[in-house]
Structure 1
Amino acid sequence: MTRFDELLAPHMDAAYNLARWLTGNESAARDVVQESALKAFKFLHRFEDGNAKAWLLTIVRNESFNWLKASAGHRWIAIGDDIPEDDSALAHSDTPELSAIHTQDVALLQRALEALSPVFREVIILKELEDMPYKDIANVTDVPIGTVMSRLARARAMLKTQYMKLCCHE
């Protein structure tokens, strides 16, 4: 097994997840992850022992923001993926009505998250979906841990506000 396979391959799903949420575009996310993996492979000799996931996600974050800057003249494409009918998160539902409500809630939450600016979206993704510690998020985003905590608090408040707006207008 190569060093890349050992250190970074296990984190490719997290890399795609972050890129997809930051770019808001599946195709761009695949490109960003591919470019990030290439850079990580090329500069793996510079990686000292440490948190390989945080190191890779830092590269993904930078590449995602590069993509966002390059496509600033284009309107972002909303993710808008339909939730698969066999989604295990829906398996607990006893009735079609509960499934429909859950599906609508997930869609509204996705739209609310997409409405956040990337700097707030990234801290939510890294903390809530990737379950990264504040220290690692600070390393990935290259900001002090206090800024991470502040952004996360603001992002959660903005997400709640956005979600409530969407709920009331549906």
Structure 2
Amino acid sequence: MRSTTASGDTGINWARGRYRAVKPGGATVAEIDSKGGRSRDDAERSRRFQQMALPHLDAAYNLARWLAGNASDAEDIVQEAVMRAFRFFDSFHGESARPWLLAIVRRTWYTEWQRRSSSHEVAAFDDEIEQADDTAIDGWSTAPSDPQALLIREENTRLVHEALAQLPVEFREVLILRELEDMSYRDIAAIADLPIGTVMSRLTRARRKLATLLKARLAAGSAGGSQAAAPMSRQPPEPGPICEGDA
């Protein structure tokens, strides 16, 4: 499935349009080629990095957009993450660059959140959303495709986006990676620095919370009302720890 941002737009147009502004290593390939002070090895390294990174920038922006909650911060996060990825590109020896790059995006966002938290720039965690009902809903299955199937079947893109935005970050990120990015449990575990069993448990709880929120919104819509979206939960889980209730 193609990535979809929190605003409903695809991230790939942003990725292709903004990549030259990122300038990994401080210069684009064209600029490197035009400077005699840069070696051909540097230019080749930059080319290889672009070939590796560009196909995954839409996914990187998509993840950053959902984590940060706004486009401006997401762009800053992705640009910083790409700079970091380029800096450590020589240490990458994996088969797939996608989970490696997304893990850097996640870590970059968490670092920025810590900085803002220490300077009181981040909104407080929404405890009421964290304590949302975990119980399954009559008539709803928690099969992996249910939230996505509901989206397609009912064409409620806006409602699903609003419901996703209400989820705590640790639930939202695994849903985005699994349902919108079609990533494997193994790759999600690598990105979030979690055991695979924890990823699966967290996904189950996230789907139940999402179903609860969607049911409430659909009921409000059928009654002719509109339910205002709660503020997006911004507090991140530290990379690695297991949330209470995770297996």
Shared topology, TM-score over 0.5? yes
Aligned to 2:157: 106
> Is 1:130–2:178 an aligned residue pair?
no
1:74 corresponding residue in structure 2: 122
Structure 1 counterpart of 2:63, one-letter code: L
> Number of aligned pairs?
144
Match of 1:145 among 171, 180, 196: 196
Whether the 8 Å contact between 2:61 and 2:75 is mirrored in structure 1 is yes
Q: Tell me, yes or no, if the aligned pair for 2:64 and 2:106 is still in contact at 8 Å.
A: yes
* TM-score, structure 1 normalization: 0.79
In 2: Cα distance, 1:74 partner to 1:142 partner: 23
Gaps of 5+ in 2: 1-43, 125-153, 221-225, 227-247
2:213 matches 1:162: yes
How far did 1:131 drift?
Answer: 0.4
Q: Which has the higher helix share?
A: 1
How high is the TM-score relative to the length of structure 2?
0.55
Q: 1:65 Cα shift?
A: 2.1
Q: Distance in 2 between matches of 1:55 and 1:159?
A: 27
Pick the structure with greater CA Rg: 2
- Deviation string, structure 1 residues 101-145 (Cα, Å, up to 9, x no partner): 73xx21111110000111111101111111011100000000000
Q: Does 1:59 align with 2:104?
A: yes
CA distance in 1, matches of 2:113, 2:206: 19
Q: Which moved more, 1:1-10 or 1:116-125?
A: 1-10
Amino acid at match of 1:127: R
Aligned-residue CA RMSD (Å):
1.7
Q: Where does the alignment leave 5 or more consecutive residues of structure 1 unmatched?
A: 77-100
Deviations 1:47-72 (A, max 9, x none): 11322100000000111222333344
Distance 2:115 2:193 in 1: 21
